[in-house]
Amino acid sequence: MADIVLPVNDRGRFYHLDCGPGELAPCILTCGDPARARRLARRLQHIRLRRRNREYLTVTGAYRGIPVTVLATGIGPASTAIAVVEAAHCVEGATFIRLGSCGALAPQIQVGDLVITARALRQEDTSRFYAPEPAEAPADPGVLAALTRAAAELHVPHHVGLTCTIADFYAGQGREAPGFPVADPGGIARLAAAGVLSVEMEMSVYLALAHVSTLNLRAGGACAVFDNFATRGEVFSLKALRRRAEGRLLDVGLRAVEILARGV
């Protein structure tokens, strides 16, 4: 990695993350929300790096003896792609596991359940700068299997299937905000009819970039269901229920780390 030409800051670290080679662990647990990242980082021991720059928060430590980095990327595909590119040059052979939130489209999915992504529709433009085709990106089979096994072992209600990544929370996901029109009001219904289980804002970037990278990357992820478009259930204003769903998500993510690292 000595010949890498990426923008660096005055400390010689990559410009956006403010991190450099050797500062991240091979297993990188990511989320958009820095508060979730801080909650996850409290589960680590032997912290050797804490760094905050722009919307990015990075913490490197260990979970039960396994080196782990927690990385908050902020919201959306663009900031996520920047994080993936720079993080992938901080450690060889990185595995990215997204632990996010989503909206469910199927009525059988309960608010608080997890949706584990097997593949993601790419209804965002960012990943197309790296991988123009196809329309879907697959999760790494090993990461997918570890997350699915972890959820089953921990008896966490979960669903495995197709996620759609959309680069907007309001009109892009069919939510009409006062004063702002929705250009395609039938879009969410079409996704549900096509078998999409959930919509969120970052997953396809991880999967597409890992799939086409020459840096031996793996990626997958799971999201806690914070609302359901089919049943109109949501936990945005219910802090205790949201925290419980998030706690399940973090438990599953950390257990998946153990499975990937030790196979047991």
Say how far apart CA 193 and CA 187 lie, in whole Å.
10
The angle formed by the CA atoms of residues 20, 210 and 37, to the nearest 5 degrees, is: 55
Residue 12 lies in a domain: no
CB burial class (10 A; 0-12, 13-18, 19+) of residue 36?
buried
Find the CATH number of the domain harbouring 106: 3.40.50.1580
Domain total of the chain? 1
Name residues of the chain where pLDDT drops below 50. 1-2
Residue 41 lies in a domain: yes
CB burial class (10 A; 0-12, 13-18, 19+) of residue 175?
middle
Residue 66 lies in a domain: yes
- The reported pTM is 0.96
Two tokens, residue 184:
């395609």
Domain containing residue 31: 27-262
Q: Would you state the pLDDT for residue 94?
A: 98
Other beta carbons within 10 angstroms of residue 172's beta carbon come to 18
Residue 49 lies in a domain: yes
Residue 104 lies in a domain: yes
Residue 17 lies in a domain: no
Q: Would you state the pLDDT for residue 76?
A: 97
Q: Would you state the pLDDT for residue 236?
A: 87
Q: Would you state the pLDDT for residue 3?
A: 61
Convert the pLDDT of each residue in 243-257 to its tens digit. Answer: 999 999 999 999 999
Residue 10 lies in a domain: no
Say how far apart CA 26 and CA 61 lie, in whole Å.
11
Say how far apart CA 44 and CA 97 lie, in whole Å.
16
Are 225 and 114 in contact by the 8 Å Cβ rule? The answer is yes
Residue 200 lies in a domain: yes
